[in-house]
Amino acid sequence: MIYFNSFLISGLICLIAQLILDNTKLTPGHVTALFVVIGAALDVFNIYDKIVLWAGGGAMVPITSFGHLLIHGALSSASRYGITGLLLGMFDLTASGITAAIIFAFFMAIIFKPHS
Amino acid sequence: MEKERYKNLVDKNIPKENVMINAIKAFLVGGVLGIIGQGLIDLYTVWFDIPTKDASPYMIITLIFVASLLTAFGVFDKLVSWANAGLLIPITGFAHAMTSAALEYKKEGLILGIGANIFKLTGSVILYGVVAAYVFGLLRFIFLGG
């Protein structure tokens, strides 16, 4: 069942993005930035949390989960250290993804030649 | 007159993108990536014997690695031109944007090329993600108590 939910949520988020891309002048850069903001906004009232519980990996794969992880990193450290915790913990949960992307991108650029 | 004729000719020859088909492709590819994500989470949960919550970073790292590698091979661009948002909105799009920026500016050197441009496309995701998470987090912390 969770696999079906994963398919549905991840597919639906990509479908919405595709409709925005095809019907407006926004570029993929605009849409990804917008979706990260939406992901963070949905967790003011724990809405994205419920989507993650329902869809598991399907909710973690789209870029909206990046906003969800940012706000939860900030909030969980804010609950420990007060308002400065928002700054201290912002990257707590996304560190692995950002670090991996930087490391892989750097070494790929060193090793491989550009194609176009 | 020449310009007008030219414009008509160009308009006639630009293939009309089928919005419906694009949407279905994005839905299917995005959905399959969601299934792969859940599959990897289940796999790592059993494999490393860790809670489901701890398995999802490994899943994200795996997808980032694969997308980065396929970008370096030049395969990912072809896949994106077919699947569009289906590959750009998942975390694979983030990895693709960073790797292709690094590769593209490699010729300008390590510092002014790769260093200055690696965040060229992904910078906006990180910037607005952090700003939004800070503002919404602050609001939630103040009004809802964290």
ipTM of the modeled complex: 0.95
Residue-range definition of the domain harbouring residue A90: 2-111
> Using CA atoms, how far apart are residues A91 and A71, in angstroms rounded to an integer?
9
- Does A116 reside within a domain? no
Q: How many domains does chain A have?
A: 1
pTM of the model as a whole: 0.91
Contact A17, B85 (CB under 8 A): yes
> What pLDDT, on a 0 to 100 scale, did the predictor assign at position B145?
84
**What residues of chain B score a pLDDT lower than 50?**
none
- Does A41 reside within a domain? yes
Q: Say if residue A46's pLDDT is above 90.
A: yes
> What pLDDT, on a 0 to 100 scale, did the predictor assign at position B146?
77
Contact B124, B140 (CB under 8 A): no
Q: Which residue has the higher pLDDT, A92 or B10?
A: A92
Across the interface, whether the CB atoms of B141 and A86 are under 8 A apart is answered yes
> What pLDDT, on a 0 to 100 scale, did the predictor assign at position B14?
64
**A6, A23, A66 ranked by CB distance to B38: nearest:** A6
Q: Say if residue A85's pLDDT is above 70.
A: yes
Beta bridge partners of B90: A62
Burial class (CB in 10 A: 0-12, 13-18, 19+), B93: buried
> What pLDDT, on a 0 to 100 scale, did the predictor assign at position B1?
59
Q: What backbone phi and psi angles, to 5 degrees, belong to B103? A: -65, -45
**A6, A108, A113 ranked by CB distance to B102: nearest:** A108
